[in-house]
Amino acid sequence: MNSQIFSPSYPKSRMRRLRKSDFILRMLTENNLSTNNLIFPLFVIEGNRIKEQVSSMPGIYVYSIDEILYMAEKCIELGIPTIALFPVVNPELKTNNGIESINADGLIPRTVIEIKKHFPELGIMTDVALDPYTIHGQDGILDNNGYVLNDETITMLTKQSLLHASVGVDIVAPSDMMDGRIGVIRQELESNQYKNTIIMAYSAKYSSSFYGPFRDAIRSTNNLKKGNKNSYQMNPSNIDEAIREAAADITEGADMLIVKPGMPYLDVLAKIKEKFRMPTFAYQVSGEYSMIKAASLNGWIRNDEIILESLICFRRAGADGILTYFALEAAELLIKSK
């Protein structure tokens, strides 16, 4: 055997010594995943006794408020600390300016009130954006040329945030990517005595093709049609821009940050976490979920193993938590592994 092909430290240093047995693998595990790291996104719709599967997301459903209470209870049983709510809005209520988003008797406020009435200990995060409420599927108000107006949109987002805070939302999460919205929302929350409402900013939200199944779930695909969100969401080629976005959001008063999508953007996640040492989250988005789930249903990959592997990748890259449609499955797997 030619010793010159080996490292100068070999055989004194054999890395495989530390992989030989289960006890040493467990003892030297650098990153861990627990149910505390999971946030479960849930889709809510008007009506009663509704549980409809999202066709492009096997195993994921749209729930009426009465049915979503069962899911909230399930999260508590499994130790999942937080849910994220996304509305499926009646098409008749969609408008150019998304005015339904600030309706005090709207779907999200009533859902939050019901969940908090039954499960006050469960953290609730809400999406702050206009795309579920607009007839054009964009995240903001349009001018006559179809361009999303920044400051006019912020006015609506601020009202939406205040409404959500007033009904007991723990975390408001502006996902719109308008410039300056975190600062305005923070100022208004402070001025209206919602000092403890957390802002989780979608600081690095990319104009991605991985969002398709989500748009199916909230039924905005036909609204957006062949449009895109390139004028406000980020270019997938850019990372320095993500650092500037995160820095701006922190300066304006964000408590936590999100990188979205997830696994294709682990480099962005790692860089933002290393740079700012802020609570930083990743969103394993609908396209990521659907690809993994479709492959597992076809027997091409092993479902349980790949779910946990994908989630530990987020933790390794620096995520304090992960929004994932696998939250229930992952929690059950983690409990079984104890």
Question: Known binding site for Mg(2+): residues?
Answer: 245
Residues taking part in catalysis: 205, 260
Contact status, residue 200 vs residue 171, Cβ threshold 8 Å? yes
Which structure tokens are listed for 215? Answer: 């748009």
Q: Which residues are annotated as a binding site?
A: 245
Q: CA 261 to CA 287: how far, in whole Å? A: 9
The residue written with tokens 């009904």 in the block is 167
Q: CA 133 to CA 92: how far, in whole Å? A: 10
Residues facing residue 171 across a β-bridge: 125, 198
The residue written with tokens 């995060």 in the block is 125
